[in-house]
């Protein structure tokens, strides 16, 4: 009996010891979460924003997103640079180059390009090839050092100042290309013809001029040329003003030029689509909660005459939303080459006062349900012609082809008389 009683006491003792260990561990763990350092709290804030907003929660489960948080917070994170690096490592398993941390300089540049009129840099808009994972040029900004150096959409960025872009990744490659006006950066390019060349680019202020317009006239017809270089916050208002200007010049049709427009604010792209399409679907989005109702345009349009829209492989994101809506609703003929194929939408979130994080929050479908991610949009008419160095000038063969096409419609009488429905209260004078 004593033997049994002693065994019971030993068993009871071990139970008590185990309980003490468990509660001690929990007791020690709680303060480590509730009293995180500022740097670790910064990382946790980034993790939370992705956890709550990322468009594919199943992927978060698949990569064990909660476990990644735990492992990341166990690292030594005491400085801002360590926090940024920890977040970059944390995001890598997503394999989504568009979901990324934006350090202060990058965050400020994105805000400037979305809301301002100029940026400092070389004028390259970059993306990541889905298959090779190499950094490639989506488009070059008009009048930028990159455009003047002959860099074109589809070229690969191999090295920046001697450092491999594969080592840097998309965000850091873009960051190294930016800098103060007057400074230089050495870029090694692999061209679309596999030629390797080094280019010394001097950074400078680049005038974005998101909306450009002019009148094209011949002996019998007047056509408006309207170019959108990117979708910043100011674009919808500028488009209203441009359409009013073209109305005053009594244009019969419009050539909308979206070449090398790599996107910008999706809301601006949708607003512009609304100016040309009456009571038709513009886009359908799919977020973490499933398919939403299609976004329908308003009844009144700013222009309902004939249109041709020019696109190329530098046409991406918000500009593809606009092009897809015009094509699927048979509102405009698309001419040019296959577009880039970026069908994901990012939301820009602030992390503190100086930095931010871009998070993929939705994918989108064209009105007919086409998912263009990695595929792009095929134009109605392919143009196998060299592109002009300066879009819209007298030597631009693509614009000339669009002009000839519109004139043929006018001459055949295949278009109805165009009219504008612009309320005076909507026109800024």
Catalytic residue numbers read 317, 328, 342
Distance in angstroms (rounded) separating the CA atoms of residues 90 and 87: 5
DSSP alpha helix (H) spans, 308-419: 318-328, 397-412
- Within 10 A of 11 (CB to CB), how many other CB atoms are there? 10
Distance in angstroms (rounded) separating the CA atoms of residues 200 and 161: 9
* Token pair recorded at residue 104: 């202060």
297: DSSP letter: P
Q: E strand or H helix at 125, and its extent?
A: strand 124-128
- Smallest CA-to-CA distance from 186 within 206, 197, 174, 200 is with 200
Please, is 295 exposed, middle or buried when counting C-beta atoms within 10 Å of its C-beta (0-12, 13-18, 19+)?
middle
* Secondary structure class of 228 (helix, strand, coil): strand
Distance in angstroms (rounded) separating the CA atoms of residues 262 and 320: 9
Distance in angstroms (rounded) separating the CA atoms of residues 311 and 327: 11
**Quick one: CA dihedral 385, 386, 391, 397, positive or negative?**
negative
HSE-up of residue 328 (Cα within 13 Å, Cβ side):
21
**Quick one: CA dihedral 288, 131, 372, 46, positive or negative?**
positive
Q: Would you say 308 and 255 are in contact if contact means Cβ atoms under 8 Å apart?
A: yes
Strands 156-160 and 163-164, bridge-based pairing: antiparallel
Beta strands in 288-391, from DSSP E residues, in sequence order: 290-291, 295-296, 307-311, 333-336, 344-351, 355-365, 381-382
Q: Would you say 258 and 322 are in contact if contact means Cβ atoms under 8 Å apart?
A: yes
Q: Would you say 255 and 226 are in contact if contact means Cβ atoms under 8 Å apart?
A: yes
Strand partners, 140: 124
């Amino acid at each position: 009996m004593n033997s049994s009683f002693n065994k019971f006491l030993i068993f009871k003792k071990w139970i008590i010891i185990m309980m003490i260990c468990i509660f001690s561990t929990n007791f020690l763990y709680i303060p480590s979460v509730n009293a995180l350092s500022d740097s670790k709290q910064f990382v946790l804030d980034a993790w939370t924003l992705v956890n709550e907003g990322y468009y594919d929660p199943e992927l978060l489960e698949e990569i064990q997103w909660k476990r990644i948080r735990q492992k990341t917070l166990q690292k030594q994170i005491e400085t801002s640079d360590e926090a940024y690096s920890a977040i970059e490592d944390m995001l890598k398993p997503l394999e989504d180059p568009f979901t990324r941390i934006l350090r202060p300089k990058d965050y400020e540049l994105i805000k400037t390009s979305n809301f301002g009129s100029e940026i400092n840099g070389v004028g390259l808009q970059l993306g990541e090839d889905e298959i090779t994972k190499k950094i490639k040029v989506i488009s070059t900004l008009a009048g930028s050092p990159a455009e003047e150096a002959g860099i074109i959409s589809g070229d690969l960025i191999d090295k920046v100042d001697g450092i491999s872009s594969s080592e840097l990744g998309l965000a850091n490659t873009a960051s190294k290309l930016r800098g103060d006006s007057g400074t230089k950066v050495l870029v090694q390019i692999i061209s679309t013809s596999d030629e390797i060349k080094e280019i010394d680019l001097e950074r400078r202020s680049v005038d974005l001029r998101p909306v450009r317009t002019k009148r094209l006239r011949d002996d019998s017809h007047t056509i408006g040329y309207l170019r959108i270089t990117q979708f910043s916050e100011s674009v919808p208002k500028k488009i209203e003003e441009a359409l009013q200007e073209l109305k005053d010049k009594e244009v019969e049709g419009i050539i909308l030029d979206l070449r090398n427009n790599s996107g910008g604010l999706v809301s601006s792209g949708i607003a512009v689509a609304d100016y040309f399409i009456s009571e038709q679907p513009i886009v359908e989005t799919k977020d973490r909660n499933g398919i939403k109702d299609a976004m329908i345009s308003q009844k009144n349009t700013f222009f309902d005459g004939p249109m041709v829209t020019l696109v190329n492989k530098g046409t991406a994101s918000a500009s593809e939303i606009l092009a897809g809506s015009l094509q699927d609703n048979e509102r405009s003929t698309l001419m040019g080459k296959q577009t880039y194929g970026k069908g994901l939408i990012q939301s820009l979130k602030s992390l503190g006062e100086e930095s931010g994080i871009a998070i993929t929050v939705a994918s989108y479908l064209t009105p007919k349900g086409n998912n263009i991610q990695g595929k792009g949009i095929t134009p109605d008419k392919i143009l196998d012609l060299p592109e002009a160095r300066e879009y819209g000038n007298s030597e631009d063969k693509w614009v000339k082809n669009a002009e000839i096409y519109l004139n043929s419609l006018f001459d055949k009488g295949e278009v109805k008389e165009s009219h504008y429905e612009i309320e005076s209260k909507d026109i800024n004078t």
